[in-house]
Amino acid sequence: MSSRGLPGFNTRAIHAGQEPDPATGAVIVPVHLTTTFKQDGVGGLRGGYEYSRSANPTRTALQEALAALEQGSHGMAFASGLAAEDTLLRTVCEPGSHVVLGGDAYGGTFRLLSKVAARWGVEHTPADLNDVDALRAAIRPTTRVIWCETPTNPLLNIADIALVAEIAHEAGALLVVDNTFASPYLQQPLALGADVVVHSTTKYLGGHSDVVGGALVVSDDELAEQLAYHQNAMGAVAGPFDSWLVLRGIKTLGVRMDRHQSNAARIAEFLLGHDAVASVLYPGLPDHPGHAIAAKQMSGSGGMLSFRLTGGEEPALRVCERAQVFTLAESLGGVESLIEHPGRMTHASAAGSPLEVPGDLVRLSVGIEDVEDLLADLEQALAS
Ligand SMILES: *Cc1c(COP(=O)(O)O)cnc(C)c1O
């Protein structure tokens, strides 16, 4: 049980929004593949359902589960993480608004702000969220949003959510936290003062690399109403089958995360002791610069880790190509282990910007396979 008397996390993951179907007793929420709903007389909606862009029962179940996991009051499910981000930005910003974007944010978030939102007059400034003076200096009277990713992708930097929330609120801005890497199992930003949680449910929440989706979770009723209005008006909603897949993934989030992070911790230790590795970026390591803050605001260190090669970019590319159990692919958070080169792959769009990542960096999404097989694979991939 949590301090608020809610059922425990795994109980919520399995039951919140997922009562057995009242008509049939089906234990699992059905996939409501319907665009429209019969009305009992003009305007006589059953349960508020009218048209599936506006609301669909499978999506409602997912949205309730998302809100319960993040300890928010309202969840909204979208067609992708970026669709959620776009809807959020266009709800809370207007031409002339300004966004402070923390450190090494997800490349797609940076692209959305720099290439799309910028054309509509929404400006942004990258800032190191760990440098309070730099953060304060980046804030303008028009700043509407401080965008915080923690841990970051791919450098695994940690920001102090409670501290950044305080600074955001002093400035009259909203704190948005992209909680994709930690997942709500390890970190609940709303409880730490954030105003909006963003997810790419494509990653840990879905968890099986078979669905692209996104989410927003908030606690403020007025903000929720504005977001829900834009979710419907802009239309980038999660479809019923995609919603069902994410809901199915969520049921096992807790047990998956436990295994993801115990495997990641073993791999971090192994890499630390390897000659070809210059450094390991994993918040669970005591010498990680964000270790103390991570320990304060997260209940574990997660399944993502990056490392830098002593020999530069060439060996980094070689490790990615030689790995066999680790699949060379973008994305993360699925049950299978993935390896990638951020500089040439996920973060190629940040090249030449302040968010550019080093060429000797390799990122792992540590899956839930047997850890001995993962260690043996890295051993052979690193052998010169
Ligand atoms: C993948 C990802 C996104 C974007 O989500 P999509 O579902 O790919 O649109 C945003 N933030 C982070 C941290 C991500 O990893």
pLDDT (tens digit, 9 = 90+) per residue, 106-130?
Answer: 889 999 999 999 999 999 999 999 9
Q: Tell me what pLDDT residue 4 has.
A: 56
Give ∠ CA 310-314-316 in degrees, rounded to 5.
Answer: 60
Give the H or E element holding residue 216: strand 214-218
Instruction: Check if 202 has its Cβ closer than 6 Å to any atom of ligand 1.
Output: yes
For residue 2, pLDDT over 60 is answered with no
- How confident is the model over 12-40, as a mean pLDDT? 96
**No. of H helices and E strands in the chain?**
13, 12
Q: Which residues pair with 148 in a beta bridge?
A: 177
Encoded amino acid at 371, one letter: V
Q: Give yes or no: 287 in active site.
A: no
Please say if the pLDDT value at position 317 is more than 70.
Answer: yes
Pairing of strands 304-309, 361-365: antiparallel
Please give the class, per CATH, of domain 253-382: alpha beta
Give the active site residue among 12, 49, 104, 106.
106
Residues 293, 298, 304, CA angle at the centre, nearest 5°? 95
Q: Which amino acid is at 228?
A: A
Question: 44 near 37, Cβ under 8 Å?
Answer: no
Q: Is 212 in the pocket of ligand 1 (CB under 6 A)?
A: yes
* CATH node for 9-250: 3.40.640.10
pLDDT grade for 353, boundaries at 50, 70 and 90: confident
Q: What is the pLDDT of residue 376?
A: 98
Sorted by where each begins, the domain ranges of the chain are: 9-250, 253-382
Pocket test for ligand 1, best of 112, 200, 345 (most atoms within 8 A of CB): 200
Q: Is the pLDDT confidence value at 5 over 80?
A: no
Question: What whole-number distance in Å separates Cα of residue 142 and Cα of residue 201?
Answer: 30
- Ligand 1 atom closest to 212 (CA): 7
Confidence class for position 352, pLDDT limits 50, 70, 90: confident
Residues written for the chain: 384
